[in-house]
């Protein structure tokens, strides 16, 4: 999910007072394009942002969203492509099952729960979302939701104490379906994590940085570009970056809060600057630190840093990027972004 694009779509629709439908995947089996917790928004006129399939199911979801907007009643849908592939006439052969919940977002309900999700994403704060999928209990009807943003719990369509009870059903907290019993009435709830988009720090502003920023922005990441050379920054195209800074390399940690970033790529092509950048990054908890250039350059920089570089450990990837066999700035940018994605997703790369 590209949360940045989702937020732009939400803002535009809300400013016009348009109703929307929040579609959330709550269960999957087999091969599916999206997994539990993925979301998309559909406007009243059929426009949508986000994709839960490769385009196979969105047309039907748009039709169902119109009904949800008209009635104000949430709807649960199961798509079983293993059984219905020929019926749909899609021929996609995915052989997967996907269950989704459609919730109305209106001015009358302050566009909740997505308004609160948007607030958490903009603040860059991790949150847990609980959505009632099926229920026969009056305390928590289908579509009721709650969002826990770092112990700040807010409930929509149910009392906070009910939301707390539902949240406690899942230990340890991982995305998935849970059940709670309310005096014999079973409530099925999806609890899923809402992650803010990653923040990428790019140290250097040469021409090869431009495709890195473009790809990162396409992924929905928030990018900050830093260089100590104002002339290079002024000639660069970093329109998608959240912030572009010109400052001495040795003052990086003084001028920026490095704890905000999930990944950093050192690519200034300036040995002294890269050394200063690495020294300061070694003192952080940034999960991915990439260094452009050959292995010999990495070895030289680490030797120069001595004990100051020991904190980099296995977080340092140099040469940065996966070996995909490409050449040139675009291919290198693709390899770097792919490696960052793998590390942040917890994959071995």
pLDDT value at residue 89: 47
- 79 & 206 share domain: no
**Nearby residues of 69 by Cβ (< 8 Å), 6 or more positions away:** 19, 20, 21, 44, 104, 106
pLDDT value at residue 125: 87
Q: What distance in Å separates the CA atoms of residue 87 and residue 81, rounded to the nearest whole number?
A: 9
- 81 & 120 share domain: no
Contact 341, 333 (CB under 8 A): no
CATH of the domain at 282: 3.40.50.720
**How many other C-beta atoms lie within 10 A of the C-beta of residue 158?**
23
- 279 & 209 share domain: yes
pLDDT value at residue 174: 66
Tell me the average pLDDT across 156-160: 93
pLDDT in tens, 281-304: 999 999 999 999 999 999 999 999
- pLDDT of 216 > 90? The answer is yes
- 212 & 338 share domain: yes
- 129 & 241 share domain: no
At residue 120 the predicted structure's pLDDT band, cuts being 50, 70 and 90, is very high
**Given 85, 106, 127, which residue is the final one in a domain?**
106
**How many other C-beta atoms lie within 10 A of the C-beta of residue 151?**
5
Contact 158, 146 (CB under 8 A): yes
Higher pLDDT, 316 or 38: 316
Q: Does any domain span residue 116? A: yes
At residue 83 the predicted structure's pLDDT band, cuts being 50, 70 and 90, is low
- 139 & 220 share domain: no
At residue 347 the predicted structure's pLDDT band, cuts being 50, 70 and 90, is low
Burial 187-198 (b: 16+ CB within 10 A, else e): bbbbbbebbbbb
pLDDT in tens, 309-345: 999 999 999 999 998 887 889 999 999 999 999 999 8
Q: Does any domain span residue 248? A: yes
**Nearby residues of 245 by Cβ (< 8 Å), 6 or more positions away:** 224, 225, 226, 227, 255, 256
Domain that holds residue 277: 199-344
Q: Does any domain span residue 169? A: yes
- 117 & 101 share domain: no
Q: What distance in Å separates the CA atoms of residue 287 and residue 297, rounded to the nearest whole number?
A: 21
**Given 106, 132, 162, which residue is the final one in a domain?**
106
Q: Does any domain span residue 147? A: yes
- 204 & 71 share domain: no
Closest listed residue to residue 291, CA positions, set 198, 199, 203: 203
Our CA dihedral for 328, 334, 340, 346, rounded to 10 degrees, sits at: -140
Q: Does any domain span residue 51? A: yes
- Could you give the number of structural domains in the chain? 3
- 91 & 138 share domain: no
- 216 & 319 share domain: yes
This prediction's pTM: 0.82
**How many other C-beta atoms lie within 10 A of the C-beta of residue 123?**
12
Q: Does any domain span residue 228? A: yes
- 204 & 248 share domain: yes
- 213 & 276 share domain: yes
Tell me the average pLDDT across 246-270: 95
**Given 142, 172, 196, which residue is the final one in a domain?**
196
Closest listed residue to residue 118, CA positions, set 87, 151, 154: 154
Closest listed residue to residue 183, CA positions, set 154, 146, 140, 153: 140
At residue 265 the predicted structure's pLDDT band, cuts being 50, 70 and 90, is very high
Q: Does any domain span residue 349? A: no
Contact 105, 111 (CB under 8 A): yes
pLDDT value at residue 33: 78
- Residue 44 CB burial class (10 angstroms; 0-12, 13-18, ≥19): middle
Q: Does any domain span residue 22? A: yes
């Amino acid at each position: 999910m590209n949360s940045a694009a989702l937020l732009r779509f939400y803002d535009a629709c809300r400013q016009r007072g348009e109703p929307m439908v929040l579609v959330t995947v709550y269960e999957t089996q087999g091969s599916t394009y999206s997994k539990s917790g993925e979301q998309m928004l559909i406007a009243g006129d059929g426009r949508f942002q986000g994709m839960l399939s490769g385009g196979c199911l969105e047309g039907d979801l748009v039709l169902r969203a119109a009904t949800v907007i008209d009635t104000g009643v949430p709807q649960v849908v199961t798509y079983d492509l293993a059984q219905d592939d020929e019926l749909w006439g899609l021929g996609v052969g995915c052989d997967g099952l996907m269950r989704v919940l459609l919730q109305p977002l209106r001015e009358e309900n302050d566009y909740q729960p997505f308004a609160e999700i948007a607030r958490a994403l903009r603040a860059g704060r991790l949150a847990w979302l609980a959505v009632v999928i099926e229920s026969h209990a009056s305390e928590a009807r289908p579509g009721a939701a709650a969002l826990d943003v770092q112990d700040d719990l807010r409930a929509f369509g149910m009392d906070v104490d009910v939301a707390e009870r539902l949240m406690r059903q899942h230990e340890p907290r991982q995305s998935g379906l849970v059940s709670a019993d309310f005096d014999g009435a079973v409530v099925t709830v999806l609890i899923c994590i809402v992650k803010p988009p990653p923040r990428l720090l790019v140290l250097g502003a040469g021409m090869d940085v431009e495709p890195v920023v473009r790809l990162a922005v396409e992924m929905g990441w928030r990018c900050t570009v830093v260089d100590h050379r104002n002339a290079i920054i002024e000639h660069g195209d970093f329109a998608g970056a959240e912030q572009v800074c010109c400052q001495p390399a040795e003052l990086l940690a003084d001028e920026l809060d490095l704890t905000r970033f999930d990944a950093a790529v050192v690519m200034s092509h300036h040995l002294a600057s890269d050394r200063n950048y690495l020294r300061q990054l070694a003192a952080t908890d940034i999960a991915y630190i990439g260094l452009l250039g050959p292995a010999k350059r990495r070895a030289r920089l680490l030797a120069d840093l001595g004990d100051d570089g020991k904190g980099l450990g296995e977080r340092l990837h140099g040469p940065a990027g996966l070996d995909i066999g490409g050449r040139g700035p675009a291919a290198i940018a693709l390899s770097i972004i792919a490696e960052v994605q793998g590390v942040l997703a917890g994959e071995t790369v």
